[in-house]
Structure 1
């Protein structure tokens, strides 16, 4: 009966999204994958919250417009049992269709954003409210603020056709070409980019790279490099990634610790794009993104900061950072070591607060870490 229901639904939607697998194959993969996950020692949020009753309830559902299945949502977590989260939204409707699994994971990851919670309206405030964290440049090497956006009326990566990628790239780059003053720059498509140029951009941490196994397992890397690229302003302080994980990743960065200036640059760039592009959003979840960890404000503000004394006790550093809703990573990001006492530290809260509040928490927390580092230094 379940297989028949799925066949009928997928047949009805076949003109919208062609399937390479028969419905019975999808169900077989789901059943086998669920059993593998259940028998594993995975610590993912997917395993924690995907109970058998929820699995059985969702396994034959599909999203109304794009016909995404539960397999589209969880196949990355089924393939990568070491995932921390293990689920992606293949299209904006997935958050509603598969709410029984998305809601508890969102609540768990975003610490208390339960079913009754509602993300507030955007409020960016002014970057000038946040003074330079390190005017003498003793601690902070660089500062970065980024946010993600998805274009309305398009699904997310797993459901995009090759033509969709091209259409999105054309829409986005047309608007990028109108940016002026500090934000003016040039778009570099990934298709046809020489390998040495590509590697130089990756080495400078400007450009994303192919090969992320979690995204690949989620079918988010199809038709690579079609429709992908990077926009860079003249000063190389404002970047826009096109069709990497989300349709748009807007990044503002510079050397030093002037978080306010970096944040203000991002705001102006985002608002310039929003004038011509309509973004996907939800009245409860805020801005909609491919990965549920980036919902809400989608803001990730981070610094590369030297904390050689605090860093001698990593557990203590992480405990202090946690009090200020900050996350500690190694120099090159998650699962890496800190080189020469340099850490990547960012805000953790993205839902249930405004953009202004998220950056304010970051500013206050980094100030506290710098003060603690100075105190530790004085003890020596």
Structure 2
């Protein structure tokens, strides 16, 4: 089995884009909720019953070929910092991190698959891929799900589909989502209109860490809300269509900003560069906002393309638990701000000032208007 230190030593492909375009759609994630037949669901189970389910599921997941050399641990064997690091890496949920005996996490060595045992349901399985690649994420996770179904019996009803703790997950048990970087829609004050349109057609919009979290660094998570009465493919098709349209709206907003207010864009990108290159104390929220502007600058040609990878790594590495793991000790908020500043300055020390001449609209034709209806 893989050690925790080995797991987090290198960022996953989905964190840094791999070889796909992730300038707007950073990642695609599919999550499946499953429960075992003839066993009480986690919220109603006694500790002994939860441990029994964990004893059945953990070795079954570990035995899957895709999980060779995986990381596998009971949560009661991990300290709070290790669990929070996995939350920050989107490998387990905040709710799962709060659980103790009878819960476990099994994570594929490249972090493309992560399995939570005894979270809200007996199984919460996820696949993450870089860019807009929901179809492939679903295909690979569905294959894993089928193989696991050969080993254990799922709680399934012919009329309702997969039975889950929360009624909103009944049916397919699937949540599909994408993480989008939408700074231009925020700067142009269009984000509210776009997100309202997304909500009207039955999709959910959340912050960087999912339900109940705020949007930081202009990052938004868009996902399906209903899982009953539709097939997985119908859910995916609608979500892909909407996310593609939001991506077009963001692209349009970036072009429009350069056309109408290039000085504002230069100022935002230049200030972000100055702050990150020279700040000695910087909070997580402030750092994420500035990293977002650097990332935008990369897409607009103000910085070399490989700067995007540095930004994507920083999105994880400047989070509080990552800083504590890096330091090897518990840190006060003030100490975290100091170390965060050190890490950011170090990573960006060779980054030259932005090429402000590139921050002007290159589109010589008419910019097509966005479709805010998202039909």
- Give the TM-score of the pair, scaled to structure 1: 0.58
Report deviation, 1:260: 2.3
Name the CA distance, whole Å, in 2 between partners of 1:184 and 1:146.
22
Deviations 1:10-64 (A, max 9, x none): xxxxxxxxxxxxxxxxxxxxxxxxxxxxxxxxxxxxxxxxxxxxxxxxxxxxxxx
* Matched ranges for 1:252-267 at <5 A: 252-267=127-142
| Alignment match, 2:171 | 296
Aligned mate of 1:322, from 193, 199, 203: 199
Q: Is the 8 A contact 2:114 2:126 kept in 1?
A: yes
| Alignment match, 2:244 | 367
Q: Is the 8 A contact 2:106 2:115 kept in 1?
A: yes
Aligned mate of 2:228, from 344, 351, 355: 351
Q: How many pairs align?
A: 238
Are positions 1:207 and 2:82 aligned together?
A: no
Runs of 4+ displaced beyond 6 Å: none
Look up the SS of the partner of 1:309 in the other structure. Answer: helix
- Distance verdict in 2 for CA 1:183–1:270, change over 3 Å: farther
- Distance verdict in 2 for CA 1:158–1:340, change over 3 Å: closer
Look up the SS of the partner of 1:240 in the other structure. Answer: strand
Name the CA distance, whole Å, in 1 between partners of 2:178 and 2:68.
21
| Alignment match, 2:29 | 144
Report deviation, 1:364: 1.1
Deviations 1:234-283 (A, max 9, x none): 11110110001100000111333222222222111111111111111222
Are positions 1:339 and 2:224 aligned together?
A: no
Name the CA distance, whole Å, in 2 between partners of 1:253 and 1:211.
18
Are positions 1:287 and 2:158 aligned together?
A: no
Q: Is the 8 A contact 2:26 2:179 kept in 1?
A: yes
Are positions 1:162 and 2:44 aligned together?
A: no
Name the CA distance, whole Å, in 2 between partners of 1:211 and 1:232.
14
Look up the SS of the partner of 1:356 in the other structure. Answer: helix
Aligned mate of 2:58, from 164, 173, 183: 173
Deviations 1:144-171 (A, max 9, x none): 1101001000121233122211110111
Deviations 1:122-160 (A, max 9, x none): xxxxxxxxxx9x942220122211010010001212331
- Distance verdict in 2 for CA 1:336–1:234, change over 3 Å: closer
Report deviation, 1:182: 6.2
Greater helix percent: which structure? 2
Name the CA distance, whole Å, in 2 between partners of 1:183 and 1:344.
30
- Structure 2 unaligned spans of 5+: 1-16, 258-375
Report deviation, 1:368: 1.1
- Distance verdict in 2 for CA 1:308–1:195, change over 3 Å: closer
Name the CA distance, whole Å, in 2 between partners of 1:182 and 1:175.
10
Q: CA RMSD in A?
A: 2.4
- Distance verdict in 2 for CA 1:256–1:187, change over 3 Å: same
Are positions 1:197 and 2:82 aligned together?
A: yes
- Structure 1 unaligned spans of 5+: 1-131, 213-220
Report deviation, 1:349: 2.5
- Distance verdict in 2 for CA 1:144–1:371, change over 3 Å: same
